[in-house]
A = this chain, B = another copy of it.
Amino acid sequence: MEINKVGIVNVTGYAGVELARLLSQHPQVELVSVTGRSTAGKRLDEVFPHITGSNLIINTELGDVNLAFSAMPHKESAAEVLPLLERGIKVVDISADFRLKDADKYPEWYGFTHPAPQALEQAVYGLPELHRRQITTARLVANPGCYSTGAILALAPAVEKGLVGNHAIIDSKSGISGAGRTLSLKTHFAEVNEDATAYALEGHRHLPEIIQELNLLQPEQPSSITFVPHLIPMTRGILTTCYAPLTGGIAADKRGEAEIRQIYLDFYKDEPFVRVTASPPHTKHTLGSNLCLVYPTIDTRTGRLIVISCIDNLVKGAAGQAIQNMNLMLGLPETTGLEAIAIYP
């Protein structure tokens, strides 16, 4: 069996080092090269002592690989990814630089003009539950945002069936690791421990990709979505609670609830990493695993659909999903290296 050689551009953020952890344990690829800026020249296990058994040195340039992950920040990632593609290297980009199909959205949401609009057409949005076939043959996969993953997987089955109106509310609660490893008062322990707060009320950058993907499922119903992210005092995990008026003839009663549940079970019946739960899910039940737990129900008093999803923001919300995409791109079984059961308690 041929072992694929893979590399990570910018291993020193939380998504990057989580990729390193998962790839170190992947039986069919070999992590042969990692890059970083401030830490270049150091051993990977010196900077991240939990990565045991690795001899890798953090370099400034990526070595010879078949596939690369870019864990660069947005705007900077495209400049790293485009040359890799030209060298014939497949890329999974963790950043947002290739997620939006409409290049005009980049100035609006990210404050820069996209350097390669044509690459946006080539890129595939890396949510395997929606785009598995295209990912399999893609050379460039844009790994979804963490919030986007939780929100889209929560709403997709209902949106596709036309069962929800266009007035969805998405209220997400994220652990602090989602804010990254860069120092900030917003992630300073004494500031965020024992605290909850909402942020990005003027519009979070994951919103346009959520709208883009839901609109693909139901083009005639342009989404009017409100998305508010919150930070809560835990390290990993995103709980997303979605609210939408129920349309399309589903009754607001126990029977309707069973119908909705069946629609979700059908939609996700062959998905290895999505489970429709029988009761409200816990983020703890996803810690360290690539699972997304989804729980649809109906507020029978008001006729609203409520769907709750849970993911580990660094696994299904970032590095795990990136490896799921890699598996598809390399022709490996989709679940390889991602079988770990969540750590509880």
Candidates B14, B193, B283, B341; contact of A21 at CB < 8 Å: B341
Tell me the A301-316 residues at the B interface (CB within 8 Å).
301-302, 304, 306, 308, 310
A281: nearest chain-B partner, CB-CB: B197
Number of copies: 4
Contact between B243 and A50 (Cβ–Cβ < 8 Å)?
A: no
Interface size class on chain A is: 35 or more
Distance between A335 CB and nearest chain B CB, rounded to angstroms? 11
Asked if A188 is at the interface of the complex by the 8 Å CB criterion, the answer is yes
Q: Chain B residues with Cβ under 8 A from A187's Cβ?
A: 188-190
Residue ranges of A at the interface with B (Cβ–Cβ < 8 Å): 14, 17, 21, 24-25, 48-53, 167, 169, 171, 173, 175-177, 181, 183-185, 187-199, 201, 203, 224-226, 228, 230, 232-237, 239, 241, 243, 245, 275, 277, 280-285, 287-289, 291, 297, 299, 301-302, 304, 306, 308, 310, 339-345
Given contacts A177-B189, A194-B235, A198-B308, 17 further A-B contacts (CB under 8 A): A173-B196, A173-B232, A176-B190, A181-B185, A181-B188, A183-B184, A188-B189, A189-B192, A189-B193, A190-B345, A191-B345, A194-B194, A195-B237, A195-B284, A197-B281, A201-B280, A288-B343
